[in-house]
Structure 1
Amino acid sequence: MTIDDVLQLIRAKWNKELNSVQELVLRQVWDGQTYTNIATTTHYGEHYLRNTASALWQVLSEITNLPITKANFRPALESRGLTAIERELIKEYRRRQQPLAPGEFPGGPVPLGSPFYIDRPPIEALTYQEITKPGSVIRIKAPRKMGKSSLMLRILNHAIGLGYHTVSLDFQQAEEAVFQTLDKFLRWFCANVSRQLQMPAKLDEYWDEDMGSKVSCTVYFQAYLLETSASPIVLGLNEVNRVFEYPKIAQEFLPLLRSWHEESKRIITMQKLRLIVLHSTEIYIPLKLTQSPFNVGLPIHIPGFNPEQVMLLADRYGIDWTKSSDGERLMKMVGGHPYLIRLALYHIAIGNLTLDELLESAPTMAGIYKNYLQGIWATLQEQPEIAAAFKQVIKMSRGVELEPILAYKLDSMGLVNLDGNYCTVSCNLYRQYFSS
């Protein structure tokens, strides 16, 4: 069993959800943490954690008919698979607790608690562990609609369960005027973080024109936000690629993030700051290796779904593909792209289309992907050089070597798979639609 299997089994047997502390204890002990370590990183009392764990070992012992303790928790259960009866019990529990919600149309981050979020081990466990480390940085890069925001939502929720404060900033929400000067941008940045932490914005008290905007911003975080907070602050930065569009801002802001990570190694207060950085494009701003925040911390690449994950998502939509090749047929058209897979399953589940009808119309203006494909088309029209490069890739059945920047830009749009500088079309949907 994996830790996720263990959690699902407990829920199914109990017929209720675990609370955040119970899940925290199980995940942390599974990862080899002591009660003392868990107490230190989460601010829960060690005695409380021990009592919580003791009750869980008793429950697991009854469920599995094995004498479960902290010492043997992982070895005993990792070597024990789920029985057929237990798998069916879990499946039935999910259906009762998380029925299909036709109104939940795919789009935007998958909400917390949604049955339609599919874990991609070991990504979730790695990020949950990393966020507990002082001064940590998690870098998540993937094309649009691959699940970056959904993952960040869960990391932030996990951090809340640890007793941390969290902030989520989306740079797409910033007005054009915000990017006029570095000073204006950093003041906007600090004001928004203050608001989400429900702390008064005291910019004028900490801003010093003689010290400059970057030092003022650092002082604001260190001497005010972090010093005032009794708990770590997790700062999630979404759509950082928006900043890339303003080279003068990016050349100052990105090294600033890097400097905060470096300062956490020598300044205890800065250790409270944890960063999650999301972006969909490669950075083309010239930065020294020692200035870039994109070569420190934990790098996370979000892959597409594998066949097992597609089958699991289909099951959660009430679609049984276990005895057919329908899952493979859908993946042959759209690859493992999470959004494209989920949109297809949504329409099939509510009875709009059969899989055959969906696949036939998918690469046309009558298909369910019409708006999505038109969005990509509009982007390509605005960037003729990238469009021409993609046209080369479409024409060839084998990999095409492109200039690195063109290859990375196509990859960041999710249109190609990269092997070095060699590109192949990422799925048949793109080949068929853009060929016509």
Structure 2
Amino acid sequence: MLTLKASTQGMEKIRYAREQKGLAIEDEEWLYLASTVLDSEKDWKKMKCFANGVSLTTFRRFLYGTKVIKAAAFRAFCEVLELNWEEIIEHDNENPVESPFYIERKSIEKPKSLEEILYEEIQKPGSFTRIKAPEQMGKTWLLEKGLGFAIAQGYKTVKLDFRLADSTIFSDYDSFLQWICLLVSEDLDLEDKIDEYWKKMYGSNKNCTRYFQNYLLSNINIPMVFGLDNVDLIFEKPEIFNNFGKLIRYWYDQARSTDHIGEIWKKIRFVIVHSTEVYRTMDINSSPLGGVGLTLEPTDFQLEQVLSLAQQYRLNWNAEDVNKLMMLIGGNPALVRKALDSAAQQNLDVEELLKSAATESGVFRDHLGRHLHNLRKSPELASAFFKCVCSVEPVDIDSQLAFKLHRMGLVKLVDNCVTPSCNLYRQYFSSRLGL
């Protein structure tokens, strides 16, 4: 049976389109609309049911980027969001677990790749690994590699992306934890028993702990890797993060115990993914999760890695060609991959690619357009970045704005100052933000 999955960029388009529609994830209107796409002759609302292959679980899998059982449902959900499904799907070379185009990166501190270190940590009972870097540095791909490794070991895996939480979920801590419990139950193919385990007098963290300990973890007899992606979104909600951080820290400490409770919590292995925006509101080291586990930081590609990747794309490029490309975009994984993918598909040489790179007709137009859209939503941020791209020297800007721009991947930190992370941004935004 054909299955389809959204790519990382596709998930961004899905999220934006869903927000524009203004419907909550749990709203059954999505399901009725998708059912109508599949069979318009039936009045699904009147029948109070959905088309074959359409369900809330399937819709969540569509949003999460996990495989949808039926391709028809995937296409139907895309049509409901007014998206071209062919621009959303993940192609074979976009899957980091299977792709020959995936480049491993060495650890700065250890003579091993980040992937090897992550695999080792995943095999440790009760482990906690943090993947930290600005946007589009390959954090989610590294998480996916870890989850793929875990599946190969016969482990259970759960991936929770906080981008899928509606604002209503973040407005109440109890609802936030119940949302997590519900999604983890679904991923483990376990029945929702939140009402059975949730007792008002216990408090939110105790209730969530009981649900995981006495129900979820007690119903699996193999390790479970729990991946939490885009955790920055709860860093921005200090009350939720402080409570949730204490909860995760408690679970981590429980796994250090030698009694039977400790054995239950040893089944879980955390991998959390976040950018550096955490520093905008708090210091991770002084948070409830400070000092917990191991931190992995994906870095830019080096020239040799980009040259190797170009060869994988069967481009007839030499080191000089690659160096010209990197003079413009640096080693940013997302930009490198987009450049090589476009060059291979459109049969472009380096000079042709670079000629229009910083324009609206260039291969980076979607990437640059998204950043421009986000910057224009925040005039203060746009002004700070304009100051940065117009200066040949690193500039000193407000620290919160600096870390926001760093989180977006637009700047590099130089002591207390910032500088554009690549010349592409300097060329494009110095003209566009100045209009």
Answer yes or no: same fold by TM over 0.5: yes
Query: For residue 317 of structure 1, what is the amino acid of its counterpart?
Result: Y
Query: For residue 372 of structure 1, what is the amino acid of its counterpart?
Result: H
C-alpha displacement of 1:106 = 8.3
Query: For residue 427 of structure 2, what is the amino acid of its counterpart?
Result: Q
For 1:293, the equivalent position in structure 2 comes to 289
Deviates more, 1:277-286 or 1:154-163: 277-286
Call closer, same or farther: CA 1:337–1:288 in 2, change over 3 Å. Answer: closer
Mapping of residues 250-399 of structure 1, within 5 Å = 250-266=241-257, 267-283=262-278, 284-286=280-282, 289=285, 291-293=287-289, 295-322=291-318, 324-399=319-394
Provide the C-alpha distance between the structure 1 equivalents of 2:91 and 2:307, rounded to a whole number of angstroms.
Answer: 17
For 1:232, the equivalent position in structure 2 comes to 223
C-alpha displacement of 1:145 = 1.9
The answer as to whether partners of 2:227 and 2:272 remain within 8 angstroms in 1 is: yes
Find out whether 1:408 has 2:403 as its counterpart: yes
Call closer, same or farther: CA 1:277–1:208 in 2, change over 3 Å. Answer: same
Find out whether 1:170 has 2:167 as its counterpart: no
Deviates more, 1:325-334 or 1:284-293: 284-293
Query: For residue 167 of structure 1, what is the amino acid of its counterpart?
Result: V
The answer as to whether partners of 2:236 and 2:281 remain within 8 angstroms in 1 is: no
Call closer, same or farther: CA 1:274–1:404 in 2, change over 3 Å. Answer: same
Q: Deviations over 1:379-411 (max 9, x none)?
A: 111222222222222222222233332222111
The answer as to whether partners of 1:164 and 1:234 remain within 8 angstroms in 2 is: yes
C-alpha displacement of 1:199 = 1.3
Query: For residue 372 of structure 2, what is the amino acid of its counterpart?
Result: W
Provide the C-alpha distance between the structure 1 equivalents of 2:256 and 2:377, rounded to a whole number of angstroms.
Answer: 44
Which of the two has higher C-alpha Rg?
1
RMSD between superposed Cα atoms in Å: 2.3
C-alpha displacement of 1:276 = 0.8
Mapping of residues 168-207 of structure 1, within 5 Å = 168-207=159-198
Call closer, same or farther: CA 1:280–1:108 in 2, change over 3 Å. Answer: farther
Deviates more, 1:171-180 or 1:333-342: 171-180
TM-score (norm 1): 0.72
Q: Deviations over 1:183-212 (max 9, x none)?
A: 111111001001101111211221111011
Q: Deviations over 1:312-347 (max 9, x none)?
A: 11011001323x510000111110011111111112
Secondary structure at the residue paired with 1:308? Answer: helix
Q: 1:120 aligns with which of 90, 105, 109?
A: 105
C-alpha displacement of 1:289 = 4.8
C-alpha displacement of 1:250 = 2.2
Q: Deviations over 1:46-79 (max 9, x none)?
A: xxxxxxxxxxxxxxxxxxxxxxxxxxxxxxxxxx
Secondary structure at the residue paired with 2:266? Answer: helix
Provide the C-alpha distance between the structure 2 equivalents of 1:194 and 1:433, rounded to a whole number of angstroms.
Answer: 46
Q: Deviations over 1:190-240 (max 9, x none)?
A: 010011011112112211110111110011111211222211111001111
Provide the C-alpha distance between the structure 2 equivalents of 1:109 and 1:259, rounded to a whole number of angstroms.
Answer: 36
C-alpha displacement of 1:256 = 1.6
The answer as to whether partners of 1:106 and 1:346 remain within 8 angstroms in 2 is: no
Provide the C-alpha distance between the structure 1 equivalents of 2:410 and 2:283, rounded to a whole number of angstroms.
Answer: 27
Q: Deviations over 1:276-297 (max 9, x none)?
A: 1111242244578564325421
Provide the C-alpha distance between the structure 2 equivalents of 1:343 and 1:291, rounded to a whole number of angstroms.
Answer: 36
Find out whether 1:420 has 2:394 as its counterpart: no
Number of corresponding residues: 334
Provide the C-alpha distance between the structure 2 equivalents of 1:288 and 1:112, rounded to a whole number of angstroms.
Answer: 30
TM-score (norm 2): 0.72
Secondary structure at the residue paired with 2:373? Answer: helix
For 1:41, the equivalent position in structure 2 comes to none
The answer as to whether partners of 1:110 and 1:116 remain within 8 angstroms in 2 is: no
For 1:11, the equivalent position in structure 2 comes to none
C-alpha displacement of 1:264 = 1.6
Mapping of residues 102-121 of structure 1, within 5 Å = 110-121=95-106
Secondary structure at the residue paired with 1:166? Answer: strand
Provide the C-alpha distance between the structure 2 equivalents of 1:290 and 1:352, rounded to a whole number of angstroms.
Answer: 51
The answer as to whether partners of 2:93 and 2:100 remain within 8 angstroms in 1 is: no
Call closer, same or farther: CA 1:211–1:291 in 2, change over 3 Å. Answer: farther
Provide the C-alpha distance between the structure 2 equivalents of 1:165 and 1:423, rounded to a whole number of angstroms.
Answer: 42
Call closer, same or farther: CA 1:176–1:297 in 2, change over 3 Å. Answer: same
The answer as to whether partners of 1:250 and 1:285 remain within 8 angstroms in 2 is: no
Secondary structure at the residue paired with 2:117? Answer: helix
Provide the C-alpha distance between the structure 1 equivalents of 2:147 and 2:345, rounded to a whole number of angstroms.
Answer: 32
Deviates more, 1:131-140 or 1:106-115: 106-115
Provide the C-alpha distance between the structure 2 equivalents of 1:288 and 1:300, rounded to a whole number of angstroms.
Answer: 14
Secondary structure at the residue paired with 2:273? Answer: strand
Call closer, same or farther: CA 1:287–1:417 in 2, change over 3 Å. Answer: closer
Q: 2:214 aligns with which of 217, 223, 229?
A: 223
Q: Deviations over 1:75-130 (max 9, x none)?
A: xxxxxxxxxxxxxxxxxxxxxxxxxxx99888996442111111112211111111
Find out whether 1:249 has 2:240 as its counterpart: yes
% identity of equivalent residues: 42
